[in-house]
C-alpha cells in the first residue's frame, strides 16, 4: 500500500513548544516522545518515508499518528482509554482499606504502611495485596505515611491582640523611636568537611563531602533596626539573662540618647526573667512588645537569620568556633553595606477580620479584645 508524501504541518508556537517539551522530557514515555518527534519532523517538511527512516519505524505508523494529530491535536498522540481487566474488588473492599488507613495505627507503630494495612485486613479475613492497597490509597489520595503538624492556640483572642500590636509597630514606627527586633540563634554547629568541597560546573551541582568533623557550637544574639534593616550581632557564650542584659546595655550605650528604644522580642526565658524585667524597668527609655507564643515569624530578625542560614551556615565549612564566628561577622558587615528595610506586608488586623469571617462564633469576644488592644 502506497502512502502519500507528508505535507508540511503548520504548528502554532504554543503547539511547537508543547511538542518539543514532550519530545525532550525524560519523564515522558518513549512512545509519546516518538509521536511528538514524528509531528515535529512532518512540520519541518520531511516526507513520511524520511520520517520513518529517521525514527526507525514504519510508514503506516507515521501516517497513523499524523492523521491522529490532524484530527485531535496534541491529545490525539496519547493512547485511547482501554477497558482493561474488570476490577477484582468492589466498593466494600475499597472502603475497608480507607477505613483502616484513616484509623489510629496499632500499638507499637507510629503510622500505617501498605504492608500493615494489608496484614491488618488479612487478619480479618480480607486478603488484599500490597499493590491493591497502594492503588486504592493512591486513587483516594489517602496518605497515612504523611504527617503534617498543626498548632492549637489556647487563646486565639490573645494571639490576634499581640500580633496586631507588633504589626502596627512595623507599619507605623513611632516618632523619635528606634524600633529594634531582637532574638538569639543558639546551637549553630561549627563543622568542617573531611575533604574539600568540589565547585559547581556545567551541568553539575556543587558537591560537598557527607562526613564532617564537629568543633562545637556558637550562639549569637542579634538586633535589627527595623527602619533601616541594619543588624548588629554578637557572640554569646550562654543564652541567659546576664548575657542578654549585657547586649541591651551595649544597645543603650550606642544609641542616640534622644531616641527611645522599642524592642520586639519573643517570650524566651532570658527575655522575661526577673533580672531582665528589672533592668528594663530601671531604663525607662526601653519599651517592649512581645510576639505571641509560637509566632516567631512575627519577629523581623528571623528574616535575617533565614538569610544567614541560606548563605553562610547551610553547606558551610568551619574549621573552628572562631572561624564560624568570623564568617558570621563578615556576613553581617556585608549585609549592612547594602541593607534595606524589609517590606512588611502582613496586617494582623486585616487577617483577623478574615479569620472572624471564617469563624463567626469567635466574633464578639475577639472584637472586644482587639478594641482593648487598640
Shared domain for 176 and 279, answered yes or no, is yes
Shared domain for 169 and 245, answered yes or no, is yes
pLDDT for 185 equals: 96
Q: pLDDT (tens digit, 9 = 90+) per residue, 120-163?
A: 999 999 989 999 999 999 989 999 988 888 776 656 678 888 88
Shared domain for 173 and 257, answered yes or no, is yes
Between 8-12, 252-256, 297-301, the lowest mean confidence (pLDDT) is in 8-12
pLDDT for 363 equals: 54
Joined grid coordinates for residue 79: 493512547
Angle at 45 between CA 42 and CA 50, to 5 degrees: 70
Q: What is the pTM of this model?
A: 0.64
Between 115-124, 204-213, 254-263, 318-327, the lowest mean confidence (pLDDT) is in 204-213
Shared domain for 340 and 289, answered yes or no, is yes
Q: pLDDT (tens digit, 9 = 90+) per residue, 74-119?
A: 999 998 877 777 777 788 889 999 999 999 998 888 899 999 999 9
The answer to whether residue 372 is domain-embedded is no
Per the structure, the count of domains in the chain is: 3
> 5 exposed, middle or buried (CB, 10 Å; 0-12, 13-18, 19+)?
exposed
The answer to whether residue 43 is domain-embedded is yes
Domain of 73 in residue numbering reads as 13-77
H or E segment and range at residue 81: none
Q: pLDDT (tens digit, 9 = 90+) per residue, 9-21?
A: 788 889 999 999 9
Shared domain for 263 and 348, answered yes or no, is yes
Which distant-in-sequence residues (6+ apart) come within 8 Å of 48 by Cβ? 3, 4, 5, 6, 42, 59, 62, 63, 66
Shared domain for 108 and 234, answered yes or no, is no
The phi and psi torsions of 243 (rounded to 5 degrees) equal -70, -35
Shared domain for 231 and 167, answered yes or no, is yes
The phi and psi torsions of 257 (rounded to 5 degrees) equal -60, -20
CA-based R_g, the chain, Å:
32
Task: Please compute the mean of the pLDDT values over residues 203-221 and round it to a whole number.
Answer: 88
**182 pLDDT more than 70:** yes
Whole-angstrom CA distances from 67 to 6, 18, 72, 78 are 10, 18, 9, 13
pLDDT for 153 equals: 64
Q: Is 186 helix (H, G, I), strand (E, B) or coil?
A: strand
Task: Please compute the mean of the pLDDT values over residues 191-198 and round it to a whole number.
Answer: 85
**6 pLDDT more than 80:** no
Pair 307, 335: CB distance under 8 Å = yes
Shared domain for 231 and 318, answered yes or no, is yes
**205 pLDDT more than 70:** yes
Strands laid side by side in the 212-225 sheet? 231-236, 212-225, 177-193, 260-265, 286-290
The answer to whether residue 108 is domain-embedded is yes
Joined grid coordinates for residue 83: 477497558
d(CA 184, CA 194): 29
Shared domain for 169 and 298, answered yes or no, is yes
The mean pLDDT value of the chain amounts to 87
Q: Is 233 helix (H, G, I), strand (E, B) or coil?
A: strand
Q: Residue 365: pLDDT band by 50, 70, 90 thresholds?
A: very low
The answer to whether residue 322 is domain-embedded is yes
Q: 313-334 as b/e, with b when 16 or more CB fall inside 10 Å?
A: beebbbeebebbbebbeebbee
d(CA 338, CA 78): 53
pLDDT for 203 equals: 83
Joined grid coordinates for residue 226: 527595623
H or E segment and range at residue 226: none
Pair 325, 221: CB distance under 8 Å = no
The answer to whether residue 6 is domain-embedded is no
The conformational region for residue 336 under phi > 0 = left, psi -120 to 50 = alpha, else beta, is: alpha
Shared domain for 191 and 56, answered yes or no, is no
The answer to whether residue 369 is domain-embedded is no
Tell which residue, 174, 182, 178, has the closest CA to residue 254.
178
**310 pLDDT more than 50:** yes
Pair 264, 291: CB distance under 8 Å = yes
pLDDT for 345 equals: 79
d(CA 342, CA 229): 6
> 203 exposed, middle or buried (CB, 10 Å; 0-12, 13-18, 19+)?
exposed
Shared domain for 239 and 283, answered yes or no, is yes
pLDDT for 288 equals: 96
Shared domain for 124 and 178, answered yes or no, is no
Q: Residue 227: pLDDT band by 50, 70, 90 thresholds?
A: very high
The answer to whether residue 349 is domain-embedded is yes
CATH of the domain at 312: 3.30.420.10
Whole-angstrom CA distances from 107 to 104, 110, 111, 112, 142 are 9, 8, 10, 11, 21
Q: Residue 364: pLDDT band by 50, 70, 90 thresholds?
A: very low
The answer to whether residue 367 is domain-embedded is no
User: Per residue, what are the HEC states of 195-209?
Assistant: CCCECCECCECCECC
Joined grid coordinates for residue 366: 475577639
- Report the percent of the chain where pLDDT is more than 90: 58
Q: Residue 362: pLDDT band by 50, 70, 90 thresholds?
A: low
Pair 301, 231: CB distance under 8 Å = yes
**359 pLDDT more than 80:** no
Amino acid at each position: 500500500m502506497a502512502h502519500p508524501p507528508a505535507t508540511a504541518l503548520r504548528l502554532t508556537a504554543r503547539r511547537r513548544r508543547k511538542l518539543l517539551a514532550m519530545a525532550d522530557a525524560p519523564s515522558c514515555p518513549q512512545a509519546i516522545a516518538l509521536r511528538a518527534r514524528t509531528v515535529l519532523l512532518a512540520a519541518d517538511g520531511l516526507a513520511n518515508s524520511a520520517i520513518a527512516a529517521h525514527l526507525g519505524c514504519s510508514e503506516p505508523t507515521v501516517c497513523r499518528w499524523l492523521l491522529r494529530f490532524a484530527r485531535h491535536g496534541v491529545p490525539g498522540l496519547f493512547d485511547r482509554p482501554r477497558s482493561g481487566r474488570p476490577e477484582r474488588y468492589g466498593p466494600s473492599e475499597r472502603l475497608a482499606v480507607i477505613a483502616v488507613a484513616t484509623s489510629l495505627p496499632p500499638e507499637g507503630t507510629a503510622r500505617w504502611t501498605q504492608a500493615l494495612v494489608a496484614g491488618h485486613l488479612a487478619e480479618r479475613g480480607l486478603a488484599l495485596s500490597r499493590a491493591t492497597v497502594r492503588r486504592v490509597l493512591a486513587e483516594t489520595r489517602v496518605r497515612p505515611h504523611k504527617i503534617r503538624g498543626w498548632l492549637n492556640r489556647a487563646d486565639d483572642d490573645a494571639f490576634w491582640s499581640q500580633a496586631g500590636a507588633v504589626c502596627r509597630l512595623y507599619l507605623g514606627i513611632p516618632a523619635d523611636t528606634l524600633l529594634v527586633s531582637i532574638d538569639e540563634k543558639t546551637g549553630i554547629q561549627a563543622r568542617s568537611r573531611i575533604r574539600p568541597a568540589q565547585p559547581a560546573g556545567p551541568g553539575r551541582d556543587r558537591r560537598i563531602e557527607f562526613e564532617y568533623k564537629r568543633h562545637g557550637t556558637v550562639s549569637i544574639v542579634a538586633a535589627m533596626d527595623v527602619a533601616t534593616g541594619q543588624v548588629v550581632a554578637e557572640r554569646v557564650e550562654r543564652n541567659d539573662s546576664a548575657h542578654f542584659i549585657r547586649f541591651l546595655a551595649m544597645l543603650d550605650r550606642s544609641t542616640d540618647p534622644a531616641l527611645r528604644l522599642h524592642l520586639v522580642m519573643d517570650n524566651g526565658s532570658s527575655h522575661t526573667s526577673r533580672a531582665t524585667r528589672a533592668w528594663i524597668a530601671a531604663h525607662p527609655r526601653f519599651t517592649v512588645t512581645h510576639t505571641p507564643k509560637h509566632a516567631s515569624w512575627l519577629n523581623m530578625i528571623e528574616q535575617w537569620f533565614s538569610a544567614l542560614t541560606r548563605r553562610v551556615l547551610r553547606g558551610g565549612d568551619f574549621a573552628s568556633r572562631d572561624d564560624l564566628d568570623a564568617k558570621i561577622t563578615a556576613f553581617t558587615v556585608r549585609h549592612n553595606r547594602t541593607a534595606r528595610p524589609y517590606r512588611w506586608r502582613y496586617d494582623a488586623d486585616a487577617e483577623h477580620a478574615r479569620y472572624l469571617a471564617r469563624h463567626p462564633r469567635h466574633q464578639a469576644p475577639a472584637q472586644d479584645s482587639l478594641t482593648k488592644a487598640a
